[in-house]
Amino acid sequence: MNKLSIGLLIFSGLLNTACVATPSSTEHNVTAQTRKTPKNIIFLIGDGMGLEHTTAYRYYSDDPATKAMETTIFDELLVGMASTYPDDDTVVTDSAASATALSSGVKSYNGAIGVDTHKEPLETVLEKAKKLGKQTAIVVTSQINHATPASFIAHNESRQNYDQIADNYLSNLIDGKPIVDLMFGGGTQYYIRDDRNLVNEFKDYGYQYTNSLQQLDKITALPALGLFAPVGLPFAIDSGDQPRRLTPMAKKALSLLSLKNDKGFFMMIEGSQIDWCAHANDVACAMGELDDFASTIEAVKAFAEKDGETLIVVTADHSTGGLSIGGYDKYIWKIDLIKQIHGSVETISKTMADSKDVVGTWNKYIDFPLTDEESKLLVTASQQKYSVLKQTLLDVINHRTLTGWTSHGHTAGDVQIFAYGVGADKFAGHLDNIDIAKNIFSFLNTKN
C-alpha cells in the first residue's frame, strides 16, 4: 500500500467518526475522494462491439502523421472481459437477452425484454435507481423501444412487439409517473401512431418534446423526450458534416441531468448501430459508429472527471459479424482505403440502383477508383436484383480493404469491459454479463 492510500484510509476513518457524530449529514460528508458508491452511474453499451471492432477503431483513428500508434479511449479505460451467452442452448446471444442480463442481472432467452425464462418481469437497474429517487435517462441511436433500451424500461416476451413495448413506457409507472426522465433516440413511427399518440401522452405528464437534433437547445428541463427519426437515426457515415449524433445527445442529457441532481442519476447510453453496420458487414459504416461512440465516452469521462462522484461502465452486449482485421490470407489491412469511403454500403448501393450509374456513384462516395474488373462485376450485378448489387458492392469493398467477416449475425466471443470513476475497480477481470448488472445493483442498495 502506498502512502497516499494509507493517508486516504486514515482520512476516511476520521470521516466515519465525524459521520457517527452527525449522522444526518452523511451525504454531505462523503467527498469525491472517499466516496465508495457512485452518486451517478453512466452505463454505455456498444451494441455488437467486439474486441476486433475496438481494435479496428484504433488503427482507423490512428494519426498516420505520427510514428506511434495512438491509443483510444477504449484502451485507456479497459478493465476486463465479459461472457455473453444467453440462458438457452444457443451460446450466441441476441441484443434482447444480453440487454436483459445487463439490466437485471438474470440471464434469459433470445428475444426476452426484461423478463426471465418464465416470461416474468425482472427488476432492472434503471427501475431500482428510479425507486431510490434518482433521475433516469436513456440516449440511443436506434429507436428508443429497440431491444437494448427496452430491456431497461419495459417487460415483454418478445422484442418484436414494438408497439406494446412503446406503450409499456407509459404503463410501467413508479409513483404514478413514467420511469424514464429523459429519452433521446429515434422512433416516431412507434410513438405517434394512428391508434395512439404516445408523444402527446408524455407531454401530458409534463415532458418537453422535440423531433429535431438541431433544436436540442429548446429542451430546457426534465422530463424530456426527443425522437429524431421514424425508426433509427441515419448512420453516422450518412449524416454528412454532422456524423456525430450520439455525442451531442449525451452531452445535452448530462447538462439536463446536472440541473437538479441532489440524488444522482442513472443513464444508459447505447451506440446502437455499431451492430447494424456489422450485420451489414459494412466496415466504413462500423468505423463511423465507433467514432461517435468513442467521442461519447470521452464526453462522459470528462463529466465524471470533473464531477468525482460518477461511475462509468462501458461494455458490449455481444460481438457482430465475425470481423477480421485483415482477411483473405493477406497480411495487411487497408485502413487508408476505408477512410476514403464516405457513405454506407446501403446508401451507395441504393444510389447505384436508382441512378443506374455504377461508376459515377462509386466516384461520388468513394475516393479511390474501381479497377476494370470491379466495375465489370458491379455493372453486371446492377442488372440483377438489388440484393445481388448490394452484396457485390460489399464484396468489392471488403476484398479491396482486406476486411474479413464470417457472419451477418452475432458471434459468441467475450466482450470487453471498460470502467472509470467511483467503483470502477469492481469491473476488473473476467465477469459474466450478469455480474455487471449485479455490481450496479450493489451500488443501488447502499445509501451513499
The least CB distance from residue 235 to Zn ion, in Å, is: 15
Q: In angstroms, what is the minimal distance from the CB of 64 to Zn ion?
A: 32
Pick from 218, 270, 244, 216: nearest CA to 46: 270
Q: How many residues bind Zn ion (CB under 5 A)?
A: 1
Q: Within 13 Å and on the Cβ side, how many CA atoms surround 400?
A: 23
Nearer to Zn ion, 108 or 382 (CB): 108
Minimal distance, residue 89 CB to Zn ion, in Å: 19
Of 168 and 320, the one with the shorter C-beta distance to Zn ion is 320
Q: Which of 127, 275, 374, 414 binds Zn ion (CB under 5 A)?
A: 275
Binding segment for Zn ion among 167-175, 270-278, 349-357, 386-394 (CB under 5 A)? 270-278
Interatomic CA distance for residues 274 and 325, integer angstroms: 16
Torsion sign (Cα): 145, 148, 153, 158: positive
Please provide the size of the chain in residues: 448
Contact yes or no for 417/315 (Cβ under 8 A): yes
**Residue closer to Zn ion, measured from CB, 198 or 415:** 415
Amino acid at the residue 432: D
Comparing every residue's Cβ against Zn ion, the nearest one is 275
Give 270 or 275: the residue with its C-beta nearer to Zn ion.
Answer: 275
C-alpha 338/C-alpha 149 separation (Å) is 30
Question: Which of residues 52 and 275 has its CB atom nearest to Zn ion in the complex?
Answer: 275
Stretch of residues binding Zn ion (CB under 5 A), selected from 49-57, 269-277, 369-377, 388-396: 269-277
Cell of 349: 448501393
CB of 228 to Zn ion, least distance (A): 21
Q: Candidates 271-279, 323-331, 389-397, 415-423 — which segment interacts with Zn ion by CB under 5 A?
A: 271-279
Cα(196)–Cα(288) distance, rounded to whole angstroms?
A: 35
Segment contacting Zn ion (CB under 5 A): 217-225, 267-275, 281-289, 342-350?
A: 267-275
Residue closer to Zn ion, measured from CB, 264 or 321: 321
Strands 78-83 and 182-186, by their bridges, are unpaired
- 52 lies in the binding site for Zn ion (CB under 5 A): no
DSSP state of 281: T
DSSP secondary structure letters along 21-66: H-GGGHHHH--TTT--S-SEEEEEEETT--HHHHHHHHHHHS-TTS
Nearer to Zn ion (CB atom), residue 40 or residue 320:
320
- Tell me which residue has cell 404516445: 198
CB of 409 to Zn ion, least distance (A): 7
Least distance from C-beta 405 to Zn ion, angstroms? Answer: 14
Dihedral over alpha carbons 239, 241, 244, 247 (to 10 degrees): -130
For Zn ion, which stretch binds (CB under 5 A), given 60-68, 184-192, 275-283, 293-301? 275-283
Catalytic residue among 12, 25, 95, 255: 95
Alpha carbon distance 236, 288 (integer Å): 5
**Interface characters, 401-440, with Zn ion (x: CB under 5 A):** ----------------------------------------
Per the annotation, the verdict on 98 as an active-site residue is no
Joined grid coordinates for residue 338:
476505408
Cβ 318 to Zn ion shortest distance, Å: 7
Whole-angstrom distance, CA of residue 183 vs CA of residue 99 = 17
Using an 8 Å Cβ cutoff, are 92 and 409 in contact?
Answer: yes
- CA separation for the pair 144, 138 (Å, rounded): 8
Q: Which residues are catalytic?
A: 95
Report the interface residues with Zn ion, using CB under 5 A.
Answer: 275
